[in-house]
């Protein structure tokens, strides 16, 4: 029954709704995503009582497949952008090169997926649009995923990737882009005092900045959020953090002692569970006189930028405008 429901909802999500007029898509997606959340709740209830490693693995593999499928279908790849794998990199790394690439700056994309999903296949279409429209060379790396690999695996891989890419672009402006768990990953590397490479600018899309369940505010948003199940989010965070704990400031930068931080653009929905992560972290940065541009949308969901809706195109346009507006400034 769950499998049949999943198939029907996936067909509506990636085949039927994108063909409809733009103004009709957002409310339809809200309803479809609510049903998908019911499906995910049923799956969670089956394995919620101390799931085995194999149950975690099965869930992760299913999620990876779904994310890859939707990521390749919802937006179209911009064929003007050259995509190539960088051989010799310490982790699997890809380079997006637009036709009129800006030679003074480059981007590094930290992908989301709850630390258990996400790949070049799930993200390449969106990144190609950002790369082409901003004239920005963007690198994408695949880090090790949970449940096979937990903290600090993704963070160690991120440092290896960033160090390698930094060597390719000495004295150029670096822009890190992170979405969801990737937003937490990029921010965690930025606040990590043991690692000396930092971005000149940071763009965070629906960032997951607090893996703990200590924020009471999230409980008020659990019914408004049409995609994320709050119990599942906490459980995934605890499993990924392991012995390091979910309040570790590298895993949950909301608890970091921020001494310095690059200028940052944050996009978040007021209806998603991670809304308060963005709000509280923005306050923390502003207290340190960091330039923070916080952009919010209502009536949409977590990481809505991946969907072919009006609000997504607005958000992507804002990302492009932000990248183009940045003055060349490098501390390298």
Supply 213's token pair. Answer: 């369940």
DSSP 175: E
Q: What percent of the chain has pLDDT over 90?
A: 79
pLDDT of residue 80: 98
Q: Is residue 295 within 8 Å of residue 267, measured between CB atoms? A: yes
pLDDT of residue 221: 76
pLDDT of residue 231: 83
Q: Which of 44-58, 169-183, 247-261, 316-330 has the lowest mean pLDDT?
A: 44-58
Q: Determine the average pLDDT of the residues in 191-202.
A: 96
Distances (CA, A) of 288 to 188, 218, 277: 17, 25, 17
Distance CA 247, CA 213 (A): 9
- Top pLDDT among 74 and 222 is at 74
Q: Which of 17-31, 175-189, 221-235 has the lowest mean pLDDT?
A: 221-235
DSSP 79-133: TTSEEEE-TT-SS-EEEEE-TT--TTEEEEEE--STTT---HHHHHHHHHHHHHH
Q: Is residue 139 within 8 Å of residue 108, measured between CB atoms? A: yes
Residue 46, pLDDT > 80, answer: no
pTM for the model stands at 0.95
| Cross-strand bridge partners of residue 174 | 106
Map 20-70 to HEC letters: CCHHHHHHHHHHHHHHHHHHHHHHHHHHCCCCCHHHHHHHHHHHHHHHHHH
């Amino acid at each position: 029954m769950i499998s049949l429901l999943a198939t029907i909802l996936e067909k509506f999500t990636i085949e039927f709704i994108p063909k409809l007029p733009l103004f009709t898509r957002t409310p339809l997606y809200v309803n479809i995503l609510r049903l998908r959340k019911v499906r995910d709740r049923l799956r969670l209830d089956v394995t919620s009582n101390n799931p085995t490693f194999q149950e975690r693995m099965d869930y992760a593999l299913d999620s990876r497949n779904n994310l890859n499928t939707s990521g390749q279908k919802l937006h179209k790849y911009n064929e003007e952008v050259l995509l190539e794998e960088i051989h010799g990199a310490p982790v699997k790394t890809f380079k997006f090169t637009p036709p009129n690439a800006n030679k003074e700056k480059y981007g590094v994309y930290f992908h989301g997926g709850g630390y258990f999903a996400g790949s070049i296949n799930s993200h390449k279409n969106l990144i190609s649009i950002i790369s082409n429209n901003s004239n920005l060379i963007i690198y994408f790396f695949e880090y090790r995923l949970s449940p096979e690999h937990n903290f600090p695996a993704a963070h160690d891989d991120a440092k290896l990737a960033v160090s390698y890419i930094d060597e390719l672009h000495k004295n150029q402006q670096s822009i890190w882009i992170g979405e969801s768990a990737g937003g937490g990953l990029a921010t965690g590397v930025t606040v990590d005092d043991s690692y000396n490479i930092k971005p000149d600018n940071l763009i965070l899309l629906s960032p997951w900045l607090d893996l703990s369940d200590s924020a009471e505010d999230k409980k008020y948003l659990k019914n408004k959020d049409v995609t994320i199940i709050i119990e599942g989010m906490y459980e995934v965070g605890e499993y990924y953090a392991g012995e390091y704990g979910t309040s570790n400031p590298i895993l949950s930068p909301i608890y970091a002692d921020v001494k310095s931080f690059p200028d940052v653009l944050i996009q978040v929905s007021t209806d998603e569970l991670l809304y308060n992560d963005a709000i509280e972290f923005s306050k923390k940065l502003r207290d340190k006189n960091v330039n923070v541009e916080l952009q919010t949308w209502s009536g949409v969901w977590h990481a809505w930028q991946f969907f072919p809706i009006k609000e997504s195109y607005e958000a992507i346009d804002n990302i492009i405008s932000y990248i183009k507006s940045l003055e060349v400034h490098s501390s390298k």
